[in-house]
Structure 1
Amino acid sequence: MDIGFMDCIANFHTNPRDTENKEGLFQCHSHQSAELTLLIKGEGYYAAGEQNVEALPGDLLLIPANLKHSYVCINAWEGYSLHIYDQNIPAYCQYLMSHAFTQRQGPILKASLTPGAVERALAAMHQIEETCKRKEQTEYSYDLLRNALETLLLTYHTGACDKAGKVSSEHPEEQLIEDALKEIHQNYHMSLKVSDLAASHYLSESIFRKKFIKHVGVLPKQYIITLRIDEAKRLLLTSRKPVEFIASEVGFSSSSRFHDLFVKHVGMTPMEWRRSGER
């Protein structure tokens, strides 16, 4: 199933004949997609370079794309492994992925989940598996996968925060921009004004703009527009929703403005972009 950001999902487990103590699998590999692995049963280790991460039931691991890594199963295990193209995922999921990897202590990330969080993560994996098994995608497939992936990433962050605790940033300005980016990615589809973002951080609009462009490289308004256009591009290719509906869904109150900005950023109309993906 071609859903744009989804590579594959697998329910993995060891062969019953390999359940003797210290028997298991070992592989060294890399892949172009990022990996989210939820361990349900068993015990083992994941390694990359000098990092060696113990994997136990309830652990959710994030592995970046193109990272050469290996794993060894010590006690027979079972779990789900999801592979996604992180550059193509929806806006808020994209923020959650990038934020996780900028906070990392090593190339492989791990969050130990509570029993309730494991249930939520497992339900999300089941939703993704079920959706991907369908012979034909429906108009809801993209939304189902987006919601399930968002649940997994939020569950990871919650587990990671529970383990590490709330840590104050040593760089308040960087934290300010990080908080602003999170708010943008969460609310880009709503009426989002730069003046409101600035006010929420007790800054004038001009000072907020200067800080934002210093850390991000573009003005906040341009960042929001680009985010909306990118999400519209994904929706045009992964759903049959009307263009006017997509324009509203990604935050444009005027379909004509959406059309003009889309042409300016993409070089073709929304319908031309949709047809280009059908070839």
Structure 2
Amino acid sequence: MIEAINKILPVIVKTLERVHDNSWKMDYNIHDSYELIFIKKGNIDFWVEEEKIDLKAGDLLIIKPFTKHKFEVIGSTKAEFVVIGFYLNPENKAKVNDLKEIYGFLKVLENTTNKFYFFHVRKRSNIFFCLESILREAKESKNSILLYIKCLELFVYITREVDSLEMIKNYDYSLIAKHIKEYIDNNYMEDIKMGDVAKRFFMSESSLSRIFKNHFGILPKEYLLSKRIEKAKEYLTISNLKISNIAMMCGFSSLQRFNDIFKKYTGLSPTQYRKQILQDFK
């Protein structure tokens, strides 16, 4: 029956689920199909060509055909991940125009110079629920037709995400840099990691750093720290808040780290800085 569907639909799907500990790694390999990899649990270091991507639970990666890649599990927790392979059946490619959603998904992937896409899947998103449904169907049923249809549904949801991604990629880089800066300015008090910021803007961490530095002359991580220090100086100047509270309000994970970073940037500890400000006002 699935062979009959293959004659109608242009997409061929293969799915598998894996669980590995940190003793496992996969050397560089190449496939003639697209690969979708979804991380359910754990952490994985993934290389696409020579670019390293840190993947964690909830991350989704799509690799184009004939792209060299490898990955290995890191940390003490076992990694659980799903791999879905898919491609266009050359004999039926002419029929793709009758499937607008799938056409949009594959057309965007085929037309870009990027070797991969990756983004984080929110737990309550349509993509997440669809992936869960695919895994459940693969485990509990031998109905390959239904599994096939669910995979096509997944592609429809990803199409919308990829379309948004392409819109961002087509922006002028200066505009992307400004959006990144705006995000940091509005969220400096949170536990921001540059890897997460990169995924938010659908790019690798190295691309994020390059674009931001080219526009502002400073790495985004350094900008984040300088932003936090400037806000801390403001609180130390205009308020009587405890230094530990200021550290927390400015996004520092501990008082010690706040003290170390503040002294690195100003040459003074937060306490010394506050005393100096008070003396200057006398």
TM range (shorter): 0.3 to 0.5
Would you tell me which structure has more helix in proportion to its own residues? 2
Query: What's the TM-score once normalised by structure 1's chain length?
Result: 0.46
Query: What's the TM-score once normalised by structure 2's chain length?
Result: 0.46
Q: Which has the larger radius of gyration?
A: 2
